[in-house]
Amino acid sequence: MLMVDLILKKRTGQVLTDQEINFIINEYVKSNIPDYQMSAFLMAVCFQGMNEHESTALAMAMRDSGKVYDLSKIKGIKVDKHSTGGVGDKVTLVLGPMVAAVGAKFAKMSGRGLGHTGGTLDKLEAIKGFQLEQSEEDFIELVSKHGLAVIGQSDDVTPADKLLYALRDVTGTVDSVPLMASSIMSKKLASGSDVICLDVKYGSGAFMHTVADAENLANVMVKIGKLAGKKMTAMITSMDEPLGHKIGNGLEVYEAIETLKGNGPEDLVTVVTEIGAYLTVDAKIFKTLEEARKELRKTLTDGRAFGKLREMVVAQKGDVSMIDHPEKFLTAKTHKIYADKAGFIESFKTTDIGTAARLLGAGRLTKEDVLDLDVGVDIHKKIGDKVEKGDLLATIYHNDKGLKQATEVLNSAIKIGKTQKPAELIAKVIR
C-alpha cells in the first residue's frame, strides 16, 4: 500500500476502506509518512469530504493510536459531554456536580483553552492545589466513589490527533467537517464513557458561524458515536453572546459556584439543565426529560449540587476554602465600562469579548503562555436588555496588563441600538 495512491484515490473523490485509513494513521504516527504527503491527503479530504463510515474509521484509528480508557470497573452508565468551544462556557463546572448529585457517573477528561475560547482545565487550576493529573486507576476510583471527576487528558491519549491537529493548523485544513468531527470524537471515544452529549456552538463567538454549519458538524459526530456504540446527543447552542456573564478562569469558577447555589444566570442554567437531562435519561436515571429537568434544577436549590462540587474539590486536593468563600476569586483590580447612549443591546462581537479577556492575560496565544487566573471580564447585559445612558455594561478585572487594549476592544464589541430582540439559546437537538 502506497500513500501516494491513497492521496490520488481521495483526491478523485473515491471512498477509502477501513484498512486504508488505518494504514494512513498508523504509518503517520510511526513517522513513515512525511508531513508533505499527509498535508496533501488532508487537503484532499477538505475538497472531497468523507462519508460517515470513513469519518468513523478515521476517528477509531486515531482513538486506537494511543491509550483507550476502560471504565468498566465503574458501576453504572458513564456520562460525558464536550463543547466545541465558546466564551464564558463554564458548563462542565456546573453540569458535573448536578448530574452526580442525581446519581450519574460523570467521567470527564478536559482540555485547555487556546485563542479566544476558555479551557476547563485552566478554570479548575484557579482553585489552588486542584490536581488535574490522575492515573487511570485514580480516575476510576474518584468517579466510583464521588460520582464525578474532571482530569487532564494524558499525553498518550490519541497521539495521532495531536500530530494531525498541529499539521492542520498550519496547512489551512482546520475547518473540514470530517476532520473536525473525527478529531473530537477520537478523544471522546478514548475517554471510555457510554453516553455523550455534544454542545455544538454557533454564532459570533464560535468556530461554526451558522446553525446549518453547526448542525452539519453535529450530525457527523453523532453518527460517528452511534457507529462506535455510544448513546449520542448533540445540542446546537448559540454563542452570539457569552454564556452567563463572567469570562476568565477564576471569574468563571465564581459564577459556577453561584449557579450551584441557585443564584446563576438563566441562560447558563437552561443549557446545563438540558444537557444534563439528556445525559441522565440516556443513563436510565430518569424516564422522561421533564422529570430530569425538574430534579436537576432542584439540585441547585437544595444544596446537593454544591455539595458535589465541594466533594470533588476535596477529593482532588483543591483548596475547598475557595469554594466556601468564592470572593477569593475576585482579587484583581476593576475598571468599569458604561453605556454612552440609551437603547437596547442589539448584538455582541463575542469573539472580541474573548479576545479582550485574553489581552488581560486570561487566555493564551500559544500553549506555553502563562495565564493570569484572576483576570477577565464581567458582561452585565444580555442581548435584548434595555440600556440607559450611564448604565454599567461591563467590569474588567485586571492586573494592569492589556487594560487599555481590552477596554478599546470591549467598547467596540457591544452594540447598542433601537431593536429589542433576545438571542436564541438552543437552536436544535440531534439524537
Task: Give the model's confidence band at 332: pLDDT under 50 very low, under 70 low, under 90 confident, else very high.
Answer: very high
With b meaning 16 or more CB within 10 Å and e meaning fewer, what string describes 75-88? ebbbbbbbbbbbbb
* pLDDT value for 148: 97
* pLDDT value for 370: 84
* pLDDT value for 85: 82
Active-site residue, 431 included = no
Task: Tell me if 78-324 shares its fold with 330-417.
Answer: no
Q: Evaluate if residue 112 carries a pLDDT over 80.
A: no
Active-site residue, 199 included = no
Query: How do residues 121-163 score in pLDDT, each as one tens digit?
Result: 999 999 999 999 999 999 999 999 999 999 998 889 999 999 9
* pLDDT value for 17: 98
Query: How do residues 177-197 score in pLDDT, each as one tens digit?
Result: 999 999 999 999 999 999 999
- Neighbouring-strand partners of residue 398: 333
Active-site residue, 82 included = yes
Q: Which of 183, 186, 204, 238 is catalytic?
A: 183
* pLDDT value for 420: 94
Considering the entire predicted model, what is its pTM?
0.93
Task: Give the model's confidence band at 111: pLDDT under 50 very low, under 70 low, under 90 confident, else very high.
Answer: confident
- Neighbouring-strand partners of residue 378: 246, 395
Query: How do residues 356-383 score in pLDDT, each as one tens digit?
Result: 999 999 987 666 778 999 999 999 999 9
Q: Evaluate if residue 8 carries a pLDDT over 90.
A: yes
Domain spanning 78-324: which CATH class is it, in words?
A: alpha beta
Residue 313 in contact with residue 388, Cβ under 8 Å?
Answer: no
Active-site residue, 65 included = no
Per-domain residue ranges of the chain: 3-49, 78-324, 330-417
d(Cα 97, Cα 118) in Å, to the nearest integer? 20
Q: Which of 10, 78, 81, 82 is catalytic?
A: 82
More confident residue, 264 or 208: 264
Active-site residue, 183 included = yes
**What architecture (CATH level 2) is domain 330-417?**
Alpha-Beta Complex (3.90)
Task: Please tell me what DSSP assigns to residue 73.
Answer: T
**What architecture (CATH level 2) is domain 3-49?**
Up-down Bundle (1.20)
Q: Which of 89, 161, 374, 378 is catalytic?
A: 161
Q: Which of 112, 146, 162, 168 is catalytic?
A: 168
* pLDDT value for 187: 93
d(Cα 328, Cα 335) in Å, to the nearest integer? 18
Over residues 319-344, mean pLDDT: 98
Place of cell 432542584: 298
Share of the chain above pLDDT 90, in %: 89
Query: How do residues 212-250 score in pLDDT, each as one tens digit?
Result: 999 999 999 999 999 999 999 999 999 999 999 999 999
Q: Which of 187, 188, 231, 358 is catalytic?
A: 187
Over residues 98-113, mean pLDDT: 91
The grid cell for 95 is 453540569
Q: Evaluate if residue 313 carries a pLDDT over 70.
A: yes
Task: Give the model's confidence band at 288: pLDDT under 50 very low, under 70 low, under 90 confident, else very high.
Answer: very high
* pLDDT value for 366: 65
Query: How do residues 18-33 score in pLDDT, each as one tens digit?
Result: 999 999 999 999 999 9
* pLDDT value for 185: 95
* pLDDT value for 255: 98
Share of the chain above pLDDT 70, in %: 98
Q: Evaluate if residue 114 carries a pLDDT over 80.
A: no
d(Cα 414, Cα 204) in Å, to the nearest integer? 12
For the chain, give the mean pLDDT. Answer: 95
Sign of CA pseudo-dihedral 348, 349, 354, 358: negative
Place of cell 436588555: 385
C-alpha neighbours within 13 Å on the C-beta side of residue 127: 31
